[in-house]
Amino acid sequence: MSESAKPILSDDVAQALTEGRAVVALESTIFSTLGLPAPANADALELCKQAVLDQGATPAVAAILDGRPHVGLSSDEEKRVLQGTRKVAERDLSVAQAQGWDVGVTTVSATVALAHAAGISVFATGGIGGVHRGSELSGDISADLDAIANHPVITVCAGAKAFLDLPRTLEYLETVGVPVLGWQHDWFPAFYTRSSGLPIPHRVDDERVVCDVLRLRARPATGVLLTVPIPVDDEIPESRINAVLTAALDSSARAGVTGPAVTPYVLERIEKETDGQSVPANLALARNNAAIAARVAVALASPAV
Ligand code: PSU
Ligand code: MN
C-alpha cells in the first residue's frame, strides 16, 4: 500500500499501537445497512467494541470517510458508518480514495488490507465471504479469501454462511496456503450452526498456539484464519436454517443478482425469511468472535512466559 493510502488512525488506536498494546480491527460492512438491519447494526457495533475492551484490547473499526481510509473511528464517524451503503472490497480502496467517496464500508478483504497497513495483526468479523455455490459457472469467489492469504493478519470468524460452497471454500484456503484453525472445536463452523459437517484442519485450544501459528508460518506474507463456533445457546438448528438459505439463494438467482450485490441481497433475504430471528444469532457470534480475537491480540502483545 502506498504512503497516500496509509490509513488515518484514531488517537486511541495510534497510542495503543505505539505502546505495543493489543488492538483488534473490525470490519464495517457488518455494521452498515448491507450487513445487518437497523437498529441491530448499532447494537452489533457496541457489543463487538465492548467485547474487545472487556479483554483489555482496543477496538479499531475500518471504513472510508471523505475519500480517506480510517482505522479507529470517533462516535460521529461510527454514526456515518451505520448508514453506509457503499461496499468497499480491497480492490475498491483505491477507487474510493480516487473518487472521494463520502462513506465506504469495508469488507473482510479491505479490512485485512487496512489492518496490515496500520500494523494490526488481529481482525474480527462475523462470517467471511467464500466460494459461492455454482462458482464453476458464475466464477464467484469472494476476494476475502485471497486477501486473507495475502496479508499477515489473523482473521477471526464464525466460518462462513452455508449459502456458500463450504467444501470448496476450505479447498481454496488450502490452495492459497492459509492455515485454518478451529477454536476449541473440531469442525468448520457454518455461521448459524456450530458445525458444517466438515472437519476443521487443525483444532487449537489456547491463544498462545494461535500466536505461534502466526509467528512460525511458512509464508510470512500470509494470514491465518481462526474459526470460532457460535455459542451453543445461540445456535439455529441446521434443519431450520438450510431451508431458509436455499430460498434466499433461489430468490437471488431469480432476481439475476451478480457481483458484489449477491452477498448483501442474500443476507437481507435470510433476515426476511427468518422474520428477523437470524439477527440475535448474528449479534451473539460477532460479539463472541470479537472477544476471542481480543484474547489472541492480548496474547500477541504480551511476552511469552
Ligand atoms: N457474510 C456475512 N455477513 C456479512 C458479509 C459476509 O454473514 O456482512 C460481508 C463481509 O463484509 C464480507 C463480505 O467480507 O460480505 C463478502 O462479500 P462478497 O461475497 O461480495 O465478497
Ligand atoms: Mn462475489
Ligand 1 lined by 260 (C-beta under 6 Å)? yes
**Predicted TM-score of the model (pTM):** 0.97
Q: How confident is the model at residue 305, as a pLDDT?
A: 63
3-state helix/strand/coil string of the chain: CCHHHCCEECHHHHHHHHCCCCEEEECCCCCCCCCCCCCHHHHHHHHHHHHHHHCCCEEEEEEEECCEEEECCCHHHHHHHHCCCCEECCCHHHHHHHCCCCEEEECHHHHHHHHHHHCCCEEECCCCCCEECCHHHHCCECHHHHHHHHCCCEEEECECCCCECHHHHHHHHHHCCCCEEEECCCECCECCECCCCCECCEEECCHHHHHHHHHHCCCCCCCEEEECCCCHHHCCCHHHHHHHHHHHHHHHHHCCCCHHHHHHHHHHHHHHHCCCCHHHHHHHHHHHHHHHHHHHHHHHHCCCC
Q: pLDDT for 178-217, tens place per residue?
A: 999 999 999 999 999 999 999 999 999 999 999 999 999 8
Q: How confident is the model at residue 221, as a pLDDT?
A: 93
pLDDT at 1 over 60: no
Q: How confident is the model at residue 5, as a pLDDT?
A: 66
* C-alpha 163 to ligand 2 mean position (Å): 12
Pairing label, strands 23-26, 122-124: parallel
Q: How confident is the model at residue 40, as a pLDDT?
A: 97
Proximal ligand: closest to the CA of 264:
1
Band of the pLDDT at 303, cuts 50, 70, 90? confident
Take residue 300 and report the three cell numbers written for it: 500477541
Percentage of residues of the chain with pLDDT beyond 90: 92
- Dihedral of CA atoms 111, 92, 161, 298 in degrees, nearest 10, equals 0
Best mutation site among 27, 29, 105, 168 for ligand 1, i.e. most ligand atoms within 8 A of its Cβ? 29
Band of the pLDDT at 218, cuts 50, 70, 90? confident
Ligand 1 lined by 117 (C-beta under 6 Å)? no
Examine the residue annotation and report whether 174 is marked as an active-site residue of this protein. no
Percentage of residues of the chain with pLDDT beyond 70: 98
Proximal ligand: closest to the CA of 265:
1
Residue of 49, 87, 90, 161 with catalytic role? 161
Report the pLDDT averaged over residues 152-165: 96
Among protein residues, the one with the nearest Cα to ligand 1's atom 2 is 127
* C-alpha 261 to ligand 2 mean position (Å): 8
Among protein residues, the one with the nearest Cα to ligand 1's atom 16 is 129
Q: How confident is the model at residue 14, as a pLDDT?
A: 98
Q: pLDDT for 252-285, tens place per residue?
A: 999 999 999 999 999 999 999 998 889 999 999 9
Ligand 1 lined by 144 (C-beta under 6 Å)? yes
pLDDT at 124 over 90: yes
Instruction: Kindly give the number of the ligand 1 atom that is closest to the alpha carbon of 132.
Output: 19
Proximal ligand: closest to the CA of 143:
1
Report the pLDDT averaged over residues 48-70: 98
**Residue 274 region by backbone torsions, left for phi larger than 0, else alpha for psi between -120 and 50, else beta:** alpha
Examine the residue annotation and report whether 27 is marked as an active-site residue of this protein. yes
Domains of the chain: 3-301 (3.40.1790.10)
Report the pLDDT averaged over residues 57-74: 98
